[in-house]
Amino acid sequence: MPEEQSARKLNSFDIIIVGAGPGGLMAAQILAEAGCAVTIYDRMPSPGRKFLMAGRGGLNLTHSEDLETFVSRYGEAAEWLAPSIKKFSPEALRGWCEKLGQTTFIGSSGRIFPTGFKSTPLLRAWLRHLDSLGVKFLFRRQWVGWNDGDEFLFKSSDGETTAVKASAALLALGGASWPRLGSDGNWGPLLKERKIAVAPLRPANCGFVVNWSKQLIQRCEGQPIKSLRAIFGDKSIRGEAMITSAGIEGGVIYALSSVLREAIEKHGIATLHLDLRPDLSLEQLTKKLEAPQKGQSRSTFLRKSAGMSPVAISLVQEFLHKNAKAAESPTRLAFLIKALPLTLTAPLPLARAISTAGGICRSSLDKNFMLIEKPGVFAAGEMLDWEAPTGGYLLQATFSTAVAAAEGMMKWLESRKE
């Protein structure tokens, strides 16, 4: 936390935070440590539900690459987010974890995880600290807008609506992915009613629809394609993907999701190419395919000669079913294996996406993340209009913008006090 924070005492201010995810919790900590009375409202029955889900396979907090490269991962939003990320950097995030008694480590990919690997120990330590600061939680309270007196309106699970007035407030409601965990994006219309610009919410880090044959789905649904290179335009990503009944998902697909989504929005479809043998050059693969087939089926031949997996072979067979000429020679077959075209027709639904693109536009916020149309109301995290790949970038920007918004709120409160 910032060094000067301990000297600040803002005891006379009551703060509302809407959203008990990582952004809301981080802002609550900063504000409570500064002496504010903080109450967090959330429509779910417990805090950090998406945070916990994200950590089931290992909580990827941030990344260890150099800061300039790190910031560039945010694409068009990099310039906007850079000041907050540089101020509360990946190194600062690691230090915050350490203060909660949760050490971190750098994995072989450069990603940073808690030593305990899961999110549960970190969240428990965090909540204990917030409790010691006097932060209050009110669950099963859904924010439904403002009344004519600019008081916040919260609807409880029993249908009762309560008006709450505060010195300042932070909105940290997340995007619209994984809605069953709390972030459903229903805040958009509430903000638009107050003339706050909100870019349409779209899936990010998502899979895409592919019109597979029934036969391929029966053989390959749920099967991974390992050691794969996905190519779109001038972008090339190495990793894995997964065949689903609806299409294709996985790390390499998520990494290209923003450009694939934009291509589909512009042209109606996007053609992704898969290199199914990325460890072999086209010449090396062609030479292997020149071996005599000796009465073997094509599947057996591709498995033995080209070293292809059953899923990769099924993808090739799927294409050849309608384009038999692509196997007329070893050279053409090798080219197909190195650049198998997949037609993507749409992103998979937003509810299935890892994260969200779109949200509160930069033009609606001042440099401290305060809503220009609603002085005293700040916003942070995934409900802002930015997107980033997986790898620690999503959580880092959520934490960093929450820190910046909390710091901005304290400046605003101090100016009001004076």
Instruction: Identify the three-state secondary structure at position 376.
Output: coil
Look up tokens 């001038």; give the residue. 234
CB 224 within 8 A of CB 242: yes
pLDDT in tens, the chain (418 residues): 444 443 345 666 899 999 999 999 999 999 999 999 999 999 999 999 999 998 787 899 999 999 999 999 999 999 999 999 999 999 999 999 999 999 999 999 999 999 999 999 999 999 999 999 999 999 999 999 999 999 999 999 999 999 999 999 999 999 999 899 988 999 999 999 999 999 999 999 999 999 999 999 999 999 999 989 999 999 999 999 999 999 999 999 999 999 999 999 999 999 999 999 999 999 999 999 999 988 899 999 999 999 999 999 999 999 999 999 988 899 999 999 999 999 999 999 999 999 999 999 999 999 999 999 999 999 999 999 999 999 999 999 999 999 999 999 999 999 987 6
Looking at 347, 374, 400, the residue that finishes a domain is: 347
In a domain, 352, yes or no: no
16 with 157, same domain?
Answer: yes
Q: DSSP state, 178?
A: S
Gyration radius (Cα) of the chain, Å:
25
22 with 165, same domain?
Answer: yes
149 with 288, same domain?
Answer: no
61 with 195, same domain?
Answer: yes
| Domains: count for the chain | 2
**Structural domain range at position 293:** 208-347
Paired with 242 in beta bridges are 224, 249
In a domain, 174, yes or no: yes
396 with 281, same domain?
Answer: no
Closest CA to 157 of 145, 176, 139, 132: 139
In a domain, 124, yes or no: yes
Closest CA to 75 of 357, 377, 306: 357
Looking at 291, 317, 347, the residue that finishes a domain is: 347
Instruction: Identify the three-state secondary structure at position 153.
Output: strand
151 with 253, same domain?
Answer: no
Looking at 294, 321, 347, the residue that finishes a domain is: 347
Record the tokens describing residue 412, joined without a space.
């605003």
